[in-house]
Amino acid sequence: MFGNKFKPSGRVFVKICGITNQADTRAAVDAGVDALGFNLVSRSKRYIDIEKAAAWIENLPKEICKVAVMADPNWEDVCRVSQLQFIDALQLHGKESPEFCRRLAEAGTAFAKALPVVNSKSLTDIRDYSTDTLILDTASGDEFGGTGRAFPWRFARQFGQQNPKLKIILAGGLNPENVATAIKEVRPFGVDVTSGVEVSPGRKDAQRIKAFVQAARQTSDAAA
């Protein structure tokens, strides 16, 4: 749902997640990303106080989609964050219920729902989360993203073929070295990377960001 007005025609939507500082933000914007993700989950190594960071986030280019990543938020928190003027959309990365998501959609909030993938059965009988944008990420215990591990991409490919009206964003274990192969195999609406462009949790590598975006762009442009 948050990709509608941000995806360049014929290109894969590229999002860098786990942004915690201005330097990494500049590197990502300069590389040509479509979206930046800010992690609001307090237990995360990439947590950011979104209100303290407001001064520099609100000055980002309007064409960059600013996404607040939340996991199992209560209704008051999700409403507070969604009403921040510098946040364009939410990314729900917990065990949010279809009913909770329906309330968000009815409130006019743009959001995507992440689904953890373990095996082929992870993507069967998916309930209606009231969004057309789903993020498929690697499941790993209590972690909800940024694991650096990929799940078998054929599961995402099959799910996309079975649900052609959904926008599938592929995450989990992506990096500059494998993103081209992932795009060719899955044909997703978008790709989302966190640890694959980091030197340490919450600290990005500008050259790896650039390499990731270039690999994704070249692959999607060639397929167009």
Secondary structure letter of residue 224 according to DSSP? -
For 118-133, give the secondary structure using H, E and C: CCHHHHCCCCCCCCCE
How far apart are the two ends of the chain, measured CA to CA in Å?
A: 22
Average pLDDT in the chain: 91
Give the predicted TM-score (pTM) of the model.
Answer: 0.92
Q: How confident is the model at residue 210 (pLDDT cuts 50, 70, 90)?
A: very high
- Tens-digit pLDDT profile for residues 141-173: 555 555 668 999 999 999 999 999 999 999 999
Percent of the chain with pLDDT over 90: 82
Looking at residue 155, its pLDDT comes to 94
What is the phi/psi pair of residue 179, to 5°? -65, -35
Cα→Cα distances 69→89, 165, 224, Å: 9, 23, 30
pLDDT at 88 over 60: yes
Please state, in angstroms and rounded to a whole number, the distance separating the CA atoms of residues 112 and 34. 15
Rounded Cα gap, residues 79 and 83, in angstroms? 6
**Rounded to the nearest 5°, which phi and psi values hold at 175?**
-160, 175
In this structure, what token pair is assigned to residue 177? 């070295």
Question: Average pLDDT of 40-65?
Answer: 94
Angstrom distance (rounded) from CA 162 to CA 142: 29
Residues with catalytic function = 17, 137
3-state secondary structure of 115: strand
Q: What is the pLDDT of residue 82?
A: 95
Alpha helix segments (H runs only) across the chain: 22-31, 54-57, 75-82, 98-106, 153-162, 179-186, 206-223
For residue 11, the model assigns a pLDDT of 86
- Among 203, 220, 152, 153, CA closest to 16: 203
Amino acid making up residue 195? S
CB distance 147 to 195 below 8 Å: yes
Residue 116 pLDDT greater than 70, yes or no? yes
Q: What amino acid is encoded at 174 in this protein? A: L
Indicate the pLDDT class of residue 1, thresholds 50, 70 and 90.
Answer: low
